[in-house]
Every structure is written in structure tokens, then in C-alpha cells.
Structure 1
Amino acid sequence: MLKKLFGKKNDQNTEEVLVSPLNGKILELSEVPDPVFSQKMMGDGLAIEPSEGKVVSPVEAEIVQLFPTKHAVGLKTDSGLEVLIHIGLETVSMEGEGFEGHVEVGDKVKQGDELITFDMDLVKEKAKSTITPVILTNGDDVVESQEVLNTGEATKGETELLKVNLK
């Protein structure tokens, strides 16, 4: 009981390393042309300008949300970190056209497992941008510190993006 009040459980990770969920160029959130993301209203993180339409899991986690339009997915790690991957900007208006989900809420995924595929050309045509924010949505509650590990080009499932130290 005292551990619940005063400390971490011994079996929890205190560090999470997120790999890139997409192939593409790593961007700072400040470079995302949408104030909801660039001003970190939903949380801190980074973004990827994708070079192909395949999204994989950046961490070992449980799928806690898959939007009906398949343009975004929420994951939660065993240590409690929540990650949102939002494919493109203003893609919700596409109403799922061009997006295919490969997971369901409640699924357990490993780093690199395929989550969503999407039609890049269709997103370029119908949405504001293909830039895909990767957001730590509960960072204020669980993140003690985070460090960006790479810049430039990222390879999905391989390139380490963020190291997150948890409270």
C-alpha cells in the first residue's frame, strides 16, 4: 500500500524508448503547421513527414484507441505512458477514406508491429498535410524528462526517436 502512495512499483519500466512509427523526416512539433500540435496543446512529442503510408508501433503497448476514421491510434505502455499517432493534419474530414486499421482496441502490440496503412497520395490530395504528430498525451502526469535521440531521416520500427524517463 505504501508503494502505491509513495513510490514506483518495482516491476515497472522507468524508461521508454520510442522508435519511429513511419519512414520519413523527423520534425520538431514547432514545425507542424497546426497550432494544436505545434503549441503542444495535446502534449509533447515530435512529428514525422512520412515517405510511405505504413504506420508501426513505436513501443510495446496496448491499443487503447483506434479512431473510427482510422486516421489516429492511441497506445498505452505497461508503465503508463500514452502515445497518440495522428496521421496527417485535418485528416478526420476524410472520414476514413484511404485508411486501413490493422489492430483493434485491446490488442497488445510489440515495437514495429503494423498498426495502420494509408494512401499517401489521397492524404496529400484531400488533407492539409501528411505530417504525422507522435504525441505523449499524458506526459504532464507520467514523464519526468524526455530526450530526442535522432534528427533527419527515420526508418519505421528502427530509428530511436525519444527516450522518456518516467516519474
Structure 2
Amino acid sequence: MILSGIQAFELPIILALFVLVIILLFMDILNRVEISRLEKRYKKMMKGSIGKSIEELLIENNNKTEEVLKTAKEIEGMYKDIDHRLKNSIQKVSVLRYKAFDDVGSDLSFSIALLDENNDGVIITGIYGRNDSTTFAKPIKNGISKYDLSEEEKTVLKDAINKK
């Protein structure tokens, strides 16, 4: 009875099995292509690591990452130190030569403003006269001098402060 039932549906069963075989062959081809692609990626990842497992590579990579982070922190510390020192270095300079006295020729007198980022520094002035020459300095804090400034010194101070 079972055999007669199978014989009655023999052609549809064979067609269904044929379709199933075709589907399985297609799935096998897709699996082989995916495995080949994964093998290429695996070989690329494992390149240069003869005899090492993925776990060993991950541990090695983690150690290298920790070293890089440590180095980055050291570099950040050095950067902050350099940045701090740079802020306190002379960054703004202005020079003005002028004739301090009418009876002395040429622009032999001068005023120089030397300021850091915070507008702290000094103004150096040299006054040249016929019989003598004098040089003096006036400290500057936050762009202001506690000493009276001549017009030339005010000019170089203003010019230096406006420089970026």
C-alpha cells in the first residue's frame, strides 16, 4: 500500500527532490565562497604570526595599545609643559626709533617692548644725547607699567599688545 502510494506520486516526489538538490548545491556554493572569503581575511589577520593563536595576537595587540596610551600620556604631559613655557616666553615685540632731542641728528634713541602672551614683560628705552646716553627698563604686568611711560613707550606697548 505504501509502495503504491509512492508510485502514484513518483514524478512529483522526484521533481521535489531534484529542486531540493539544486537548492542544496546553490547553498553549498554560497558556503564555499563565504568560507574562502573568511579564510582570506583570517590569513591577512594572521600574516606574520607563525604559530600564534588569535588569543596570543589579541594579548599582544592589547599590550601594544597600552604602550601607545602610556606614550600618548607622556607626550601630553610634555605638550602641557611646552605650552606653559611658551606662554611665558617673549611673543610680542615692538621697536620704535626716534629722535629724543632736537639738537641730536638721526633716530638714535629707541624703545623696545618685549611681552609674553599675558602682556607681561619689559620696555627697554635707550635715550641718546649729544653728551651722554642712558638705557633703562620698565617692567610691564598685564599690559600696564607702574612707572610713567613716555609717548614712544606707550606707542611700542600698544603696538606689542595688539600683536597676536
Bigger share in helix:
2
Give the TM-score, by structure 1 length. 0.20
Asked which structure has the greater RCO (Cα within 8 Å, sep 6+), the reply is: 1
Give the TM-score, by structure 2 length. 0.20
Bigger share in strand:
1
